[in-house]
């Protein structure tokens, strides 16, 4: 057998074989979801410590099934090479048994004089090395707060490979990090590319999208925390629409359920900046950024006039991300 493959058991015609899956220089190896086909990586030491019969979760789509179904294509190819080599040898042994393990010639003639001759000579088998693995490399190690499994992902994810759905606070932290990383990526573009994108309004659209995303991140977290903590949450939320998109209404909802007031948990300047960011997001989402009476009511100190179009900056977006992070931390700490 080639290095990395071994026969561990024989039972009649059934052969049990073990083929090693090498890890990378960090001790991680690949897993591939049989549902969405996306890749992630898991620490080998942590993985080997898991129970033999365990289901894995796809970190991206949440598909979960037996861990053996998460082999990558390169891992399957490596195992199939070992199986093919074993098959060649098993066939060779059968032929040797037929011919007695030595060279032999058989001929047979019929009335026409036609003859058939068979020659066989046994030769040693030398298996080729198993193919290595060249899969996507580790970028950043993550560690599940619940099961301590170390793993790595290559995109937005919502699940731990072992525990399943991640805590809402973890999801919000990752999402806020993605918003910051997106702005950092823009800052690293070549000057001529930045100038072209800025002239076409791409930067402005990204900043607007950032505000929209921040509201969504807080809405998702606050909703998850409230529903998990408040026994009669469905009744309290009935008929209130997208209440977690509205800052004061969200604060009032938690207060009515017996929790601290977010407006006092956070300092006044942070809450005021959040109010302004949420109001700006509403104007851009529903009125193409044109200031209306509702905006001026929410932001009475604004220098913008009715009918003017708001302008936003990278600096204001970065501050909004920090403020949203403080709000998420406060929401998660309420319960």
Q: Write down the mean pLDDT value for the chain.
A: 88
What is the pLDDT, as a whole number, of residue 49? 93
Give the model's pLDDT for residue 138: 84
Same domain, yes or no: 81 and 175: no
The pLDDT assigned to 225 comes to 97
The arithmetic mean of pLDDT across residues 4-19, rounded, is 73
**Domain range holding 240?**
168-333
Domain end among 150, 166, 182 = 166
How many CB atoms neighbour CB 168 within 10 A?
20
What percentage of residues in the chain have a pLDDT greater than 90?
A: 69
Per-residue confidence (pLDDT) for residue 171, from 0 to 100: 95
How high is the pLDDT of residue 109? Answer: 47
For 188-220, the pLDDT digits (tens) are 999 999 999 999 999 999 999 999 999 999 999
What is residue 36's three-state secondary structure? Answer: coil
- Distant-in-sequence, close-in-space partners of 248: CB < 8 Å, separation ≥ 6: 263
- Indicate whether 132 and 14 sit together in one domain: yes
Residue 334 reports pLDDT greater than 50: yes
Distance CA 316, CA 293 (A): 22
pLDDT tens digits, residue range 66-92?
Answer: 998 999 988 888 887 777 666 666 666
Q: So what's the pLDDT on residue 16?
A: 74
pLDDT of residue 134: 79
Query: Given a cut of 60, is residue 105 above it in pLDDT?
Result: no
Point out the least confidently predicted range of 41-55, 69-83, 100-114.
100-114
Q: Contact, 184 vs 198, CB < 8 A? A: no
Looking up tokens 């002239």 gives 199
Cα of 143 vs its chain's centroid, Å: 13
Q: What is the CA radius of gyration of the chain?
A: 32
Task: Check whether residue 138 and residue 201 sit in a common domain.
Answer: no
Q: Is the pLDDT assigned to residue 120 strictly greater than 80? A: no
How many separate domains does the chain show?
Answer: 2
Of residues 297 and 139, more confidently modeled? 297
Cβ atoms of 55 and 65 closer than 8 Å: yes
Name the more confident of 224 and 80: 224
Handedness of CA 294, 295, 296, 299 (dihedral sign): positive
Q: Would the pLDDT of 238 be above 60? A: yes
Same-domain status, 152 and 191:
no
Higher pLDDT, 52 or 306: 306
Question: Do 186 and 264 lie in a common domain?
Answer: yes
Q: What is the pLDDT of residue 98?
A: 62
One domain, residues 8 and 67: yes
Asked whether residue 108 falls in the same domain as residue 184, the answer is no
Residue at which a domain ends, from 166, 184, 210: 166
Are 181 and 296 members of one domain?
Answer: yes
Residue 113 clears pLDDT 60, i.e. is over it: no
Beta bridge mates, 56: 65
E strands within the chain? 5-11, 14-19, 28-32, 39-43, 55-57, 64-66, 104-109, 115-120, 142-143, 150-152, 159-160, 164-165
The secondary structure of the chain in percent helix, strand, coil, rounded to multiples of 5, reads 50, 15, 35
Q: What number is the average pLDDT over the span 275-304?
A: 94
What confidence score (pLDDT) does residue 121 get?
A: 64
Of 109, 136, 166, which closes a domain?
Answer: 166
Beta bridge partners of 29: 42
Q: Is the pLDDT at 281 greater than 90, yes or no?
A: yes
Helix, strand or coil, per DSSP, at residue 39: strand
Does residue 111 have a pLDDT over 80?
no
């Amino acid at each position: 057998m080639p290095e990395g493959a071994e026969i561990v058991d024989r039972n009649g015609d059934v052969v049990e074989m073990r083929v090693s899956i090498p890890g990378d220089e960090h001790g991680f190896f690949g897993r591939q979801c049989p549902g969405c086909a996306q890749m992630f990586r898991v620490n080998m030491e942590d993985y080997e410590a898991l129970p033999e019969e365990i289901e894995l979760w796809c970190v991206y789509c949440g598909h979960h099934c037996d861990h053996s179904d998460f082999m990558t294509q390169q891992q399957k190819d490596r195992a199939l090479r070992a199986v093919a080599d074993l098959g060649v040898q098993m066939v060779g042994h059968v032929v040797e048994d037929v011919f007695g393990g030595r060279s032999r010639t058989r001929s047979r003639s019929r009335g026409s004089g036609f003859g058939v001759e068979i020659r066989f000579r046994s030769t040693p088998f030398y298996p080729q090395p198993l193919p290595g693995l060249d899969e996507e490399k580790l970028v950043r190690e993550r560690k599940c707060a619940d099961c301590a499994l170390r793993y790595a992902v290559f995109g937005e994810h919502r699940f731990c490979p072992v525990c399943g759905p991640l805590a809402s606070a973890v999801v919000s932290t990752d999402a806020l990090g993605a918003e910051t990383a997106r702005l950092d990526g823009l800052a690293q573009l070549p000057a001529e590319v930045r100038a072209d994108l800025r002239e076409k309004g791409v930067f402005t659209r990204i900043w607007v999208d950032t505000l929209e995303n921040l509201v969504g991140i807080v809405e998702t977290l606050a909703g998850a925390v409230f529903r998990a903590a408040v026994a009669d949450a469905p009744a309290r939320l009935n008929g209130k629409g997208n209440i977690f998109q509205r800052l004061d209404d969200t604060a009032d909802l938690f207060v009515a359920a017996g929790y601290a007031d977010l407006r006092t948990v956070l300092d006044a300047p942070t809450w005021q900046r959040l109010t302004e960011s949420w109001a700006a997001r509403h104007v851009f989402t529903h009125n193409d950024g044109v200031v209306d009476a509702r905006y001026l009511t929410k932001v009475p100190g604004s220098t913008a006039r009715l009918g003017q179009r708001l302008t936003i900056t990278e600096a204001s977006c970065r501050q909004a991300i920090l403020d949203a992070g403080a709000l998420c931390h406060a929401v998660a700490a309420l319960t």
